[in-house]
Chains A and B, each alone.
Chain A
Amino acid sequence: MPSLARLRRRLVEHRTPYLLLLPSVAYLLSFTIYPILNVFYLSVTDLHLVKSLVPHFIGFGNYRDLIWNDPDFRRILGNTFIWTFGSTTLQFVLGLTTSLILNARLPWRGFWRGVMLVPWVTPIIVVGIIWRWIYDGSYGLLNYYLTVVGLLNRYVVWLGEDAMVWPALLLASLWKGYPYMCLMLLAGLQTIPEEIYEAADVDGASGFWRIWYITLPLLRPVATIVTLVALVLTWNNFQMIWVLTEGGPAYATSVLATYVFTKGFVFFQLGSGSAVAALSILVVLVLCVIYGRMLRVEEREP
């Protein structure tokens, strides 16, 4: 076949890069691509960690059960949006503010930039230890300080009350996640040439207006991409919620990401858990297409 011959010629012609990349590509195919496809297959089976170790095809039953028969699913879906947009918005606002501060001329600027990243490198379990203690109902720092300034007249079990658990979770997520956002935005800010500001100085623009009319519009492409990435990473973020609340109380802070784990490894329903994962991936795919498009636009611009 002519196409086969052409393929062979191509392989021979480019053999050096192909050989160099072979182990990496083989790995990525089996541990990144295959699992994504596999989860879609498992989602239409009855795979169960105890009852059915061999998957049998059962059609769309898992999806049907989730959407029509699962009383918690709707709430979990809603939570996923609160979590994703709440976290990302907060992280963006603080990340942007901090990046503007750390981009200004400051003594010890490099040092502050390093310190800012500490929460980002802290292992998630340690983040859990720190914030569980801050939110503790009897000895927690938050209760103490809020009472001292008079904002609170009783001690609250922050991670145990339906009304308090979301603000608590989002604050901890802000602490852990804003440095990444700030880091990316800071990189974006550094690509804005100094001369633009000098021109603005001549025109008499200063301070706030300089940021509003020059910095922010020029930062917009970077900010959009970073926000999109953060949305997806938060959407998939199981660890932050798990170390603080394990999705509780009841399902109050469960999102799709934690529900995959609850279904699969707490209730052993791997098939049903895969259906949750597959639904979650579909949303991520949509966001990825947008991301891919934007990268291409970015490439064309200069």
Chain B
Amino acid sequence: MRRGIAAGYVASLPELRWAEPKGSYDVVIIGGGGHGLSTAYYLATRHGITDVAVLEADYIASGNTGRNTTIIRANYGLPEAIRFYQHSLEMYRDLEDEVGAAILHQTKGIFWIAHTEMALRTERARAAMNTAAGANTVMVTPAELKELVPQIDLTGGHRYPVLGASHNVEAATARHDRVAWAYAAGAAKRGVHVVQHTPVTGLVRDGDRVVGVQTAKGQISAGLVMSAVGGRVTALAAQAGLRLPIRTHPLHAFVTNDYQQGFPAIVASTELNCYVSQTERGQMLIGAEFDAQPSYSRQSSFAALRSYSHKITRILPFLRDLRVLRTWAGICDISVDFSPIMGFTGVDGFVITTGWGTWGFKAIPAGGEAMAELIATGRTPDLIQAFSLDRFERDHAMADQGSAGTR
């Protein structure tokens, strides 16, 4: 059975042709992660704009796209965010048909567990807000949770009792590198240049306007430059004269060896600050909150590993019998209000999609679609109006308690 899946897995990877950069493009996208590639894909497929280059410093999805825990959910805390992520969740559901490649999408549902009365109230508010804004989130009792996730210890190791949970029924996971590959292949097939191993070293400006990028392979001029950079966005934006409300923190995750019995759902807890799901290969995938101090180091830390293991084994004791197979870290751009920043920057010729913190993977389809529309039409789509960079000046920050990895 596993072998059968694995065979289909490889066969369905579409062919992807890499390009060498030419001297000029209509649109240059910096960053070959999910958001950069999906924007290029939708520019080509929805708007017929194919004179586009996606410049990636390393290999595609080598940054946070390939390092996250692949949870797709819409149970956020603000109506604008819920509508945006719900749209993205629905796009993910149809993505295999759209791109013609298996991305191993699986609808699993996510349980967000409450261990205190206060947290239970928060989860109820979350469910109510989700329902009002169009996401399918319901409350479940501990008994119902036990039925759906039999492995759970409702006493939480006599330390974190389970009082209830909210259930975002449509939550899912998908294979991250396949999502990036599918978008890259789809874009490349339509003439977009996907360029790997080409770090952008600077922006080229003409007065206040951004007119191109400087790369290790020479200067490339562009009608419009989009930054889809993850991690080093503050330094890049500074070259366009922008100062961002962003800090960059590492987030650690790890997988265990194969868990034979199967674990059907995604389980998360805000109070314990961790989340767990099972990968297509049967490994248990565990992530938690980002490090308190900003850093660009992708070194995994023993402290993080110990703290996550300690917490997650309280509610899921079976994890004690598994062994940690692999650990890694990604560096997340955390905006002050825990919401992404998308759109125009006030600098001519330069648009940005950033602040993807710990919530970027689930937003790849909707974020790319919206940014492509913004580039093609010159107008900000309604769906992402609330996420513009100038919201801080307008005093409309989008403080979202529904973001994972945040307190």
- The answer to whether A and B come from one shared complex is no
Interface of A with B (CB < 8 Å)? Answer: none
Chain B residues proximal to chain A, CB less than 8 Å: none
